[in-house]
Amino acid sequence: MAIPAFDFEYLRQLVRQQSGVVLEPHKDYLAALHLDQIAANAGFASIAELVEHLKHTPLSELHLQALEALVIKETSFFRDRSPFEALKASVLPALIQSRSSQRTINIWCAACSTGQEPYSIAMLIREAFPELSAWTIRLIATDFSKQVLDRAQQGQYTDLEISRGLAPELRDRYFRKAGDAWQIVDEIRQRVEFRQLNLIHSWSALPKMDIIFLRNVLIYFDIDTKRSILNKVQHYLQADGCLFLGSGETTFHLDPRFEAIQSKTSFYHRLRSA
């Protein structure tokens, strides 16, 4: 059921103010699709009643539930695959060589949603780089949504989620059937630090990063917010670190301090040498 344009405009402003994400005007179907159950659970007879309540009350948990329901959280294991191949073939081997004295590598997955991306990286490291078991590997995964972070920390996935991008041999090695779900083994689950972080707010709790996965995120922001985020990336990425964006994303015309690096399987971004 469609909602009035003025109600959806309020929701668009709520999403933009709290997350920086820009909802297109034609995405009003998201409200009809995702807010009905939230309205019912909160005791409202309709989405319109819910929105009217949100308009006239201070920011609350109910506002955040509506916000989280409207922001797309699409992800899968080893999504687009080529960035993971580049990580395995060139990025991590180079970092292992350059960090041999510190024996520490920091990796950040921003907007990690339900956790498939950081868990994919953890499995890749376990499979391809057993020597890193003696290193300090910090794999930090963040999202603004507490709801998806709770799911990510549990590490439980449906048959459909498991079938999307995950090879059967990795499923059998790193997951166990738990009723109707698949539970990732503790060895992999405990390698990932999940934290709540909103990209448009402070990143002060993060350390300097050697690798940043910021994939399929910038497409949801306006130009000014994209530039602001890339400016912060510049401060948190090591001078020889690597930034992975989505296949349809680029720093071109946004931040000249980054340059695209072509590998055999993919491309990523680095800070230009001074």
**What whole-number distance in Å separates Cα of residue 164 and Cα of residue 186?**
21
pLDDT score of 1: 56
The whole-model pTM stands at 0.90
pLDDT score of 274: 66
Q: CATH code for 82-155+184-271?
A: 3.40.50.150
Pairing, β 136-143 against β 104-109: parallel
pLDDT score of 181: 96
Q: What is the DSSP letter of 175?
A: E
Q: Which residues pair with 262 in a beta bridge?
A: 267
Spans of the chain below 70 pLDDT = 1-2, 274
pLDDT score of 27: 84
Domain 5-70 CATH (choose: 3.40.47.10, 1.10.155.10, 2.40.128.640, 1.20.1050.10): 1.10.155.10
> Of how many residues is the chain composed?
274
Residue range(s) of every CATH 3.40.50.150 domain in the chain: 82-155+184-271
Residue range(s) of every CATH 1.10.155.10 domain in the chain: 5-70
pLDDT score of 2: 67
